[in-house]
């Protein structure tokens, strides 16, 4: 790792096309930067930007197990609490702090996991392992969020039909189901074309909710006093029994905060910061203030303050716009689930899955079919099970608060370990921010029996799958290495013709896990088929804890000490956001290192496949063995995953007990 990759940078590089390219004047640069900001509005802020639809409605929901009575004092307190919660968690924790910790410009909780690599010493490794496990659980909670967000967002938007015309109430669930079904069915086509209109739609959305908020404020300007933190503190301190339970609803205002950090690599910290501070934060604040003013004017408006805030003639258009905005919010979190899955697979926490890149311009825009259909079934199940955004809101906040708390903890650990920030400076800030996060977690735990158990269950299942897969891979790799034997010793046997092999023309590429042991496929080819190719490439693919590996560091060639045997080992390095392509990597091999005789156009590729069987060895608990074997069935075809030509790929198998 270079110094550049080992530390966070204060300012990640601008995305391609957004920087000061040679020949572009200030006007062109400003236009490009504006385009990046608009693009960020369409991808990054969809989730948090649609929170005003349901946040205050949920807090004052009379069917809540711990309802907040509607009174002028409580309205001021709740609106103030929403404003300062968003300020502390989103603006301070994420925008000002967490987004300064990046892995080559990439952010998100998976990036933090890779940044917190174990330092020397057993104690340091144990400490880093605990933090990595916490980060992995935070990533697991994101899968729960990716299931709940589409159901919650689209339901809350289509519920506006009840405000427009109460007789349409029975259509809310069917319309929501149809929208979600279509959304998942079109995922395989990618969002490259649709993505171009996401930004302008969200700009229109934020302008609309900001203006509607201004309209409510002008009717009751006293609501502006809620911007003072004294109302939030007074509400919590003076009515803690009410204020504490209200936090479970207030947290909905910060859903989507993780997206700001996770999508930093696509748009850059500066663009996301500008979009948040200049448009999104002000628009959402105006909407919350306007809704608070509307409730002060008539407490009956708590039934749907967001939609009632707009004039009657504009309610149907705002419902349609809200539906479009929530679809965009859902798209963002679905794409996020694909990205987290892809990164987890590259880092060894999940089996390799079939991953399709749906955009030629955005490297992170991927489609994972298996995850897509799993999410679709889960989201539709939630819609038909809960049937309203109010009921689903109890489950929504748990995943969000858990992820935020873990991200905050990992950031301060990283700041201490990597930046060397003095403890006297770090401790007060960490104490304040973590106290706020823990308070939100505790409030959401009170909704455990009312639905908050769902994201925790999803997170625990995902965590169990990922940790079990990681442990299972270690067991299988150890047994596989024992069977394979040392690579250099095997090459020596080939060189001395001790295996009785016959030399055949052509180039053979054997994929392997490293260069310490001989591939099972080459051993089987020599010992059973008694064949040795004229040119042999033993290739291992390594995933480094960085998003992308530059071309000059992509490959490393080792002649294994026998230049005359034409047997070489090639190590291909990829980042955790890249999809390995073996033939493309081999083309980077310097012909001078192979005497220019490798025939890659007609080379045969050999893969070693493993059939797993549950044994009696005490390697894992029986249930984890069954889970590991079951998870292995979703593994994508290795030839497709590594980009190998199927008509020139040979698969040779072996059986291993776990």
Q: What is the domain partition of the chain in residue ranges?
A: 27-444, 481-612+638-657
- pLDDT value, residue 12: 37
Instruction: Give the rounded distance of the alpha carbon of 101 from its chain centre.
Output: 16
pLDDT tier at 359 (50, 70, 90 boundaries)?
A: low
The conformational region for residue 79 under phi > 0 = left, psi -120 to 50 = alpha, else beta, is alpha
Are the beta carbons of 390 and 63 closer than 8 angstroms? yes
Point out the least confidently predicted range of 183-192, 250-259, 327-336.
Answer: 183-192
- pLDDT value, residue 88: 95
Spatial CB neighbours of 640, under 8 Å, sequence gap ≥ 6: 354, 646
The better pLDDT of the pair 451, 9 is held by: 451
For residue 502, the number of C-alpha atoms closer than 13 Å in the C-beta half-sphere is: 4
Average pLDDT over residues 154-162: 89
The better pLDDT of the pair 38, 422 is held by: 422
Average pLDDT over residues 155-179: 89
Average pLDDT over residues 560-574: 77
Average pLDDT over residues 560-579: 78
The better pLDDT of the pair 358, 438 is held by: 438
- Return the structure tokens found at 177: 């189901």
Q: Coil, strand or helix: which one is 581?
A: coil
Spatial CB neighbours of 494, under 8 Å, sequence gap ≥ 6: 501, 526, 532, 565, 567
Q: Quick one: 408 exposed, middle or buried, by C-beta within 10 A (0-12, 13-18, 19+)?
A: buried
Residue whose entry in the numeric block shows the structure tokens 């689209």: 154
Alpha-carbon distance 479 to 317, whole Å?
63
Q: How many helices (H) and strands (E) does the chain have?
A: 27, 8
> Is the predicted pLDDT of residue 605 greater than 80, yes or no?
yes
Are the beta carbons of 457 and 489 closer than 8 angstroms? no
- Give the rounded percent of residues in the chain with a pLDDT score beyond 70: 89
Average pLDDT over residues 540-567: 80
Q: Domain 27-444: give its CATH architecture.
A: Up-down Bundle (1.20)
> Is the predicted pLDDT of residue 6 greater than 50, yes or no?
no
- pLDDT value, residue 32: 58
Q: Coil, strand or helix: which one is 344?
A: helix
pLDDT tier at 185 (50, 70, 90 boundaries)?
A: confident
pLDDT tier at 78 (50, 70, 90 boundaries)?
A: very high
- pLDDT value, residue 332: 75
The better pLDDT of the pair 332, 365 is held by: 332
Q: Quick one: 212 exposed, middle or buried, by C-beta within 10 A (0-12, 13-18, 19+)?
A: buried
- pLDDT value, residue 494: 78
> Is the predicted pLDDT of residue 72 greater than 70, yes or no?
yes
Check: pTM over 0.95? Answer yes or no. no
Are the beta carbons of 264 and 99 closer than 8 angstroms? yes
Alpha-carbon distance 246 to 293, whole Å?
18
> Is the predicted pLDDT of residue 24 greater than 50, yes or no?
no
- pLDDT value, residue 20: 37
pLDDT in tens, 192-244: 545 566 788 899 999 999 999 999 999 899 999 999 999 999 999 888 888 89
> Is the predicted pLDDT of residue 94 greater than 90, yes or no?
yes
pLDDT tier at 589 (50, 70, 90 boundaries)?
A: confident
Across 125-139, 233-247, 331-345, 565-579, which has the greatest mean pLDDT? Answer: 233-247
Alpha-carbon distance 120 to 474, whole Å?
21
Which of 410, 427, 448 shows the shortest CA–CA distance to 132? 410
- pLDDT value, residue 281: 96
- pLDDT value, residue 30: 61
Instruction: Give the rounded distance of the alpha carbon of 555 from its chain centre.
Output: 28
400-404-406 Cα angle (round to 5): 120
């Amino acid at each position: 790792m270079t110094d550049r990759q080992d530390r966070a940078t204060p300012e990640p590089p601008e995305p391609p096309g957004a920087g000061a390219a040679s020949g572009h004047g200030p006007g062109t640069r400003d236009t490009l930067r504006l385009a990046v900001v608009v693009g960020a509005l369409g991808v990054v802020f969809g989730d948090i930007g649609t929170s005003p639809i349901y946040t205050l409605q949920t807090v004052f929901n009379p069917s809540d197990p711990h309802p907040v009575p509607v009174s002028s004092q409580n309205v001021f307190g709740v609106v103030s609490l929403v404003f300062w919660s968003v300020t502390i968690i989103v603006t301070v924790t994420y925008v000002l702090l967490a987004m300064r910790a990046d892995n080559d410009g990439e952010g998100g909780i998976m990036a933090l996991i890779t940044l917190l690599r174990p330092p020397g010493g057993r104690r340091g490794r144990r400490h880093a392992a605990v933090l990595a496990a916490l980060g992995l659980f935070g990533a697991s909670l994101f899968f729960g969020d990716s299931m709940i967000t589409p159901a919650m967002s689209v339901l809350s938007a289509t519920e506006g039909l009840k405000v427009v015309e109460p007789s349409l109430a029975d259509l809310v669930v069917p319309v929501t189901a149809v929208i979600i079904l279509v959304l998942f069915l079109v995922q395989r086509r990618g969002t490259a074309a649709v993505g171009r209109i996401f930004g302008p739609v969200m700009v229109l959305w934020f302008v609309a909710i900001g203006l509607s908020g201004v309209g409510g404020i002008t009717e009751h300007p006293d609501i502006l006093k809620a911007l003072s933190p004294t109302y939030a503190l007074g509400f919590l301190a003076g009515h803690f029994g009410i204020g504490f339970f209200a936090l479970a609803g207030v947290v909905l205002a910060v859903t989507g905060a993780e997206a700001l950090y996770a999508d930093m690599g696509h748009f850059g910290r500066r663009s996301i910061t500008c979009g948040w501070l200049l448009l999104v934060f002000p628009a959402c604040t105006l909407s919350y203030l306007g809704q608070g003013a509307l409730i002060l004017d008539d407490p009956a408006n708590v039934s749907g303050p967001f939609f009632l805030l707009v004039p009657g003639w504009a309610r149907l258009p705002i419902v349609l716009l809200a539906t479009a905005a929530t679809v965009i919010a859902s798209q963002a979190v679905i794409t996020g689930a694909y990205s987290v899955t892809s990164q987890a697979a590259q880092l060894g926490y999940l089996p390799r899955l079939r991953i399709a890149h749906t955009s030629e311009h955005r490297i992170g825009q991927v489609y994972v079919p298996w995850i897509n259909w799993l999410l679709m079934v889960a989201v539709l199940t939630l819609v038909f099970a809960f049937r309203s955004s109010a009921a689903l809101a109890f489950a929504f906040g748990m995943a969000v608060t858990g992820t935020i708390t873990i991200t905050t903890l990992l950031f301060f650990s990283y700041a201490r370990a990597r930046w060397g920030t003095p403890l006297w400076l770090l401790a007060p800030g960490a104490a304040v921010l973590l106290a706020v996060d823990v308070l939100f977690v505790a409030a959401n735990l009170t909704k455990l029996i009312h639905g908050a158990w769902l994201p925790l269950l999803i997170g625990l299942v995902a965590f169990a799958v990922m940790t079990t897969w990681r442990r299972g891979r270690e067991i299988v790799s150890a047994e596989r290495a024992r069977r394979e034997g040392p690579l250099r010793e095997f090459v020596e046997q080939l060189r001395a013709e001790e295996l009785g092999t016959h030399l055949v023309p052509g180039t053979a590429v054997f994929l392997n896990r490293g260069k310490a042991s001989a591939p099972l496929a080459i051993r089987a080819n020599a010992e059973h088929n008694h064949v040795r190719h004229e040119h042999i490439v033993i290739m291992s693919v390594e995933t480094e804890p960085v998003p992308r590996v530059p071309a000059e560091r992509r490959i490393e060639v080792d002649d294994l000490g026998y230049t005359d045997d034409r047997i070489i080992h090639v190590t291909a390095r990829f980042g955790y956001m890249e999809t390995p392509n073996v033939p493309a990597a081999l083309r980077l091999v310097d012909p001078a290192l192979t005497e220019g005789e490798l025939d890659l156009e007609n080379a045969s590729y050999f893969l070693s496949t493993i059939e797993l069987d549950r044994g009696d060895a005490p390697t894992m608990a029986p249930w984890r063995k069954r889970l590991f074997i079951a998870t292995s069935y979703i593994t994508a075809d290795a030839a497709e995953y590594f980009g190998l030509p199927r008509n020139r790929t040979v698969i040779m198998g072996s059986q291993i007990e776990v």
